[in-house]
Amino acid sequence: MTATADFPQQRIMTEKHPPVLEVEKLQISFRGDDSSTTVVEDVSFTVGRGEVVGIVGESGSGKSVTSYGIMGVLPPNAEVTASKMFFAGAHDLVRLPSKKRRRLQGKEISMVFQEPLTSLNPLMSVGKQIAEPLRYHEKLSRKEAKRRTVEALRSVGIPRAEQTYSSYPHELSGGMRQRIMIAIALVCEPQLLIADEPTTALDVSVEAQILRLMKKLRRTTGTSILLITHDLGVIAEMADRVVVMYAGQVVEEAEVYELFREPRHPYTKALMASTPKIEEVRDELESIPGAVPTPSKMPTGCRFAARCPKAMEICSERPPEVELGSGAKTRCWLYAEQETGS
Amino acid sequence: MLYRIATSYWARYALQIIPVLLIITFVIFFLVYIAGDPVGQRLGDNASPQQIADLREAMGLNRPFHVQYGEYMWNLVRGDFGESYMYGRDAMPIVLDRLPNTFLLGGAAMLISIAMAVPLGVLSATHKNSVLDVVVSGLAVVGKAIPNFWLGIMLILVLSVSLGLFPVSGSGSWAHLVLPAITLSGGVTAELTRVIRSNMLEVLNQDYIRTARSKGLPHQVVLYRHAFRNCLVPCITLLALTTPLVISSAIITESVFAWPGIGQLLVNAVTAADMAIVQAVVFVTALLIIAFNLAADILNKVIDPRIRFE
Ligand SMILES: Nc1ncnc2c1ncn2[C@@H]1O[C@H](COP(=O)(O)OP(=O)(O)OP(=O)(O)O)[C@@H](O)[C@H]1O
Ligand SMILES: [Mg+2]
């Protein structure tokens, strides 16, 4: 799984999918005691039917918060606004009343969380936890729900599914727990799966299994996947299209082949340069000098400027989002000329 | 396998109980030995020294300490707690006769505590810093601070004497149970509410609650099946730990309301220096505390699979 080598050429997709998710100008802030901090701002992207869209970015860039916003599981002090956040073209996720939203959660949109060790209820058998969405959304009988649960356990590659059904989370390894999380997310066959760093906490061989599993699922059920990671290797292996986030904003979006062949934004370039070709160091993004600005000290201009080798004077002004054709976009002054030229 | 683990658990529990019982019975004996010379009280102020000496001789109070203790233990082992001089018959059956009344009062108080504390604790956690939360927290502080007898007397004054809603005291109908049960529940309700609130606040921030929400489960299911259940272990532990406290407030409550339980019996027995009854009540109470702790232990193991029968 190296970042730049061996990704299949046929990934270049020109065919347009009808979008499962359309996000436009998403903004998420957290209300504090006396002030409010905006941690996600002006985030826009779409996920087509059957498409795998990757979101990459350093720690703290707002990947998880964005996905919680889509999923509708932000804490009560969060404020979400967007000019558009549509699911399957029909449901406005920003304004959806909570009762209707619950009908989508776990059924049409589901999520695998970043923390496999703490995301399962310690007092409930994993079988019951997988069966829960079936019982509530599909109103299945206990028996039927159990049958489907055991099936789901098998499909995520868990040996002795019947036995595992009545296990408790603390009896299972991290990899097993992550499979359980995936089984919960997939048991109702959702249209959109959000996977937030599904493999970060796992070792490399388990990671490979989980990724293979997700690929298979996408192939067999046509589920769209929003895959969040800070591992470009995972992106190269899995994604059709990539959204690069920096300090709460999307700084670049491109098809995966194009992104690796011709990264535009200096941040994307730095990301690639700092990714080791052989997977040894896991925290590979640390090596970009400087640090992500904190939400309270966010510069008004380009947020990457302080760390950018190509920073110019104009970068202290808010950079434009430049359309580069074939769906690629970047938020950088370097390309502002091209837009007016094209 | 599980059976073997469980039996060794029971065996160890039993082994732990034996020294506890030995200590308790010794303490009871010792207290009675030093404090309770029942003779003077029974014979009245006008008894002659000769009469006193005769009764002491007859009751075996002149024998050395270890002889008396040996006899006491031997009697205990045979289930003989001595004869109550107030009633003129064996003390233990008298205590056991009164026990159901105390259970009724304690059970009713427990139900009231749980019925109040669970929704109040959960709501003040989900509505942290709201008016409700502030009011509930305030009430909890007051509830803990109010002495039991004062609450009981206030309830009698307002609800019985002024409004005539409930009988002032005694037993015999459900109406008689209401005020003493409320009185007894006060302190536990306050403490339980506080514990539920603080545990819920912690649990609601856990990752698995976000998972539960992401499944689109109804709000109440997330709140109770996922969040509240994870607060049960500390709640049950609290209830077990407060048993001695509840029993001591039961003694006061039963006296205030003339509720015919073992608490009232104990107070009467102490006043009359009926040491056989005192010993029997204290012994039963000690057993109850041990039993409640054991029950809490088992319940916690059933609820939380991470706690093992070790
Ligand atoms: N409940 C919250 N209240 C206030 N700020 C929050 C809250 N949750 C997240 N944040 C802030 O939002 C920013 C983005 O966090 P987020 O978890 O989305 O990052 P991430 O891109 O997922 O990082 P990582 O790769 O470490 O998972 C961080 O600065 C974080 O401190
Ligand atoms: Mg994250």
Over chain A, what is the mean pLDDT?
A: 85
Q: Model confidence at B35, in pLDDT bands (50, 70, 90)? A: low
Instruction: With beta carbons under 8 A apart, name residues in chain A contacting B219.
Output: 98
Three-class DSSP category at A97: coil
**Mean pLDDT across B153-172:** 84
Rounded-to-integer distance, Cα A66 and Cα A68, Å: 5
Q: Is B24 exposed, middle or buried (0-12, 13-18, 19+ CB in 10 A)?
A: middle
Beta strands A241-246; A52-56: pairing state: parallel
CA-to-CA separations, B279 to B83, B138, B265, B287, in angstroms, rounded: 11, 40, 12, 12
Q: Is the CB of A149 under 6 A from ligand 1?
A: no
Nearest C-alpha in B relative to A133: B215
- Nearest Cβ partner of A120 from B211, B219, B229? B211
Predicted confidence (pLDDT) at residue A284 exceeds the cutoff of 50: no
Ligand nearest to the CA of A65: 1
Do residues A126 and A209 lie in contact, with contact meaning Cβ atoms separated by under 8 Å? no
Q: Is the Cβ–Cβ distance between A249 and A41 less than 8 Å?
A: yes
pLDDT of residue A14: 39
Name the residue at shortest CA distance from atom 27 of ligand 1.
A59
Pick the residue whose CA is nearest to atom 12 on ligand 1. Answer: A39
Q: Say yes or no to pLDDT of A4 above 50.
A: no
Q: Is A36's C-beta closer than 6 angstroms to any atom of ligand 1? A: no
Which residue CA neighbors atom 14 of ligand 1 most closely? A62
Grade residue A341 by pLDDT with cuts at 50, 70 and 90: very low
Q: Which residue has the tokens 């050395």?
A: B64
pLDDT surpassing 60 at residue A279:
no
The predicted pLDDT at position A287 comes to 66
Q: Residues of A with CB below 8 A from B226's CB?
A: 121, 124
B217 touches chain A (CB under 8 A): yes
A174 interaction partners in chain B (CB closer than 8 Å)? none
DSSP string, A123-147: TS-HHHHHHHHHHHHS---HHHHHH
Burial A272-283 (b: 16+ CB within 10 A, else e): eeebeeeeeeee
The partner residues of A323 in beta bridges, in order of sequence, read A329
Please identify which residue in the block is written with the tokens 């347009």.
Answer: A16
**What distance in Å separates residue B149's CA from the closest CA in chain A?**
40
Which pLDDT belongs to residue A12? 40
Q: Which candidate in B129, B205, B215, B306 is best for mutational testing of the A interface (most A CBs within 10 A)?
A: B215
> For chain B, which domains are there?
99-260+288-303 (1.10.3720.10)
Q: Is A323 on the interface with B (CB under 8 A)?
A: no
User: Within 10 Å of residue A67's Cβ, how many Cβ atoms?
Assistant: 22
pLDDT of residue B4: 58
| E-strand stretches of chain A | 19-31, 36-48, 52-56, 78-81, 84-87, 91-92, 109-112, 192-196, 224-228, 241-246, 249-255, 321-323, 329-331
Q: How far is CA B266 from CA A292, B84, B269, in A?
A: 71, 12, 5
Distance A246 CA to ligand 2 centre (A): 13
Measure B11 CA to ligand 2 centroid, in angstroms.
49
Intra-chain end-to-end CA distance of chain A, in Å: 36
d(CA B109, CA B113) in angstroms, rounded, equals 6
A65 lines ligand 1 (CB under 6 A): yes
- Whether A136 and B215 lie within 8 Å, measured CB to CB: yes
For residues B42-64, give the mean pLDDT. Answer: 74
Looking at residue A126, its pLDDT comes to: 95
Alpha carbon of B262 to ligand 2 centroid (Å): 60
Distances (CA, A) of B4 to B9, B194, B309, B310: 8, 39, 10, 10
Contacts of B303 in chain A (CB under 8 A): 123
Task: List, for residues A294-306, the tens digit of each pLDDT value.
Answer: 888 888 888 988 8
Lowest average pLDDT, out of A7-11, A112-116, A271-275, goes to A7-11
Which residue bears the tokens 């011709």?
A262
Tell me the HSE value of A248 on the side-chain side, using a 13 A CA sphere: 23
Specify whether the CB–CB gap between B225 and B211 falls below 8 A.
no
d(CA B70, CA B54): 22
**CA distances from residue B205 to A91, A123, B17 in whole angstroms, order as listed:** 28, 16, 39
Q: Which is higher by pLDDT, B25 or B12?
A: B25
Average pLDDT on A259-287 reads 73
Rounded to two decimals, the pTM is: 0.84
CB-CB under 8 Å, B218 with A136: yes
Check residue B2 and give its pLDDT: 56
- Identify the band that residue B145 occupies on the pLDDT scale cut at 50, 70 and 90: confident
Distance in angstroms (rounded) separating the CA atoms of residues B130 and A83? 32
Q: How far is A93 from chain B (nearest CA, A)?
A: 14
Which of A267-281, B55-69, B286-300 is modeled with the greatest confidence? B286-300
The whole-number average pLDDT for the span A107-119 is 91
Average pLDDT over residues B258-287: 89
Nearest CA in chain A to B213: A73
Size of interface A-B (CB pairs under 8 A): 78
pLDDT given at position A118? 92
Report the range of poorest mean pLDDT among A125-129, A230-234, A291-295, B289-293.
A291-295
| For ligand 1, mutation pick of A28, A40, A61, A249 (most atoms within 8 Å of CB) | A61
Question: What is the arithmetic mean of pLDDT over B5-23?
Answer: 78
Distance from CA of A137 to the nearest CA of B (A): 8
Asked if the C-beta of B130 comes within 8 angstroms of chain A's C-beta atoms, the answer is: no
Q: How confident is the model at residue B107 (pLDDT cuts 50, 70, 90)?
A: very high
State pLDDT tens for residues B245-261.
Answer: 888 899 999 999 999 99
Q: Say which residue the tokens 């976000």 belong to.
A: B210
* A123-127, B12-16, B257-261: range with lowest mean pLDDT: B12-16
Q: Identify the pLDDT of residue A224.
A: 94
pLDDT of residue B275: 82
Nearest Cα residue in chain B from A188? B215
**pLDDT bucket at B37, cuts 50 / 70 / 90:** low
pLDDT tens digits along B87-103? 889 989 999 999 999 99
User: Is the beta carbon of A166 within 6 A of some atom in ligand 1?
Assistant: no
pLDDT band per the 50, 70, 90 thresholds, residue A276: low
Inter-chain touch A132–B207, beta carbons under 8 Å: no
pLDDT at A145 over 50: yes
pLDDT of residue A270: 87
CB of residue A29 inside a 6 A radius of ligand 1: no
B92 touches B79 (CB < 8 A): yes
Q: Whose CA is nearest to atom 3 of ligand 1?
A: A30
Question: Smallest Cβ distance to B207: which of A113, A132, A136?
Answer: A113
pLDDT in tens, B233-243: 999 999 998 88
Q: Which is nearest to A124 in space by CA: B7, B91, B230?
A: B230
Contacts of A259 (CB under 8 A, 6+ apart): A242, A244, A252, A268, A328
Q: Return the higher-pLDDT residue of A123 and B36.
A: A123
Smallest CA–CA distance, residue B113 to chain A, in Å, is 24
* Ligand 2 center from residue A59 Cα (angstroms): 7
When the pLDDT of each residue in chain B is averaged and rounded to a whole number, the result is 86
Q: What percent of chain A has pLDDT over 70?
A: 89
Least confident of A277-286, A327-336, B106-115: A277-286
Residue A142 φ/ψ, nearest 5 degrees: -50, -45
**Contacts by B14-18, CB closer than 8 A, 24 or more apart:** B17/B290
A137 CB within 8 Å of a chain B CB: yes
A200 lines ligand 1 (CB under 6 A): no
Residue of A nearest to B305 (CA): A123
- What is the ipTM, given to two decimal places? 0.86
Condensed to tens digits (0 to 9), the pLDDT of residues B166-199 reads: 887 888 788 889 899 999 999 899 999 999 999 9
Residue carrying the six token digits 């005694």: B170
A63–B contact, CB cutoff 8 A: no
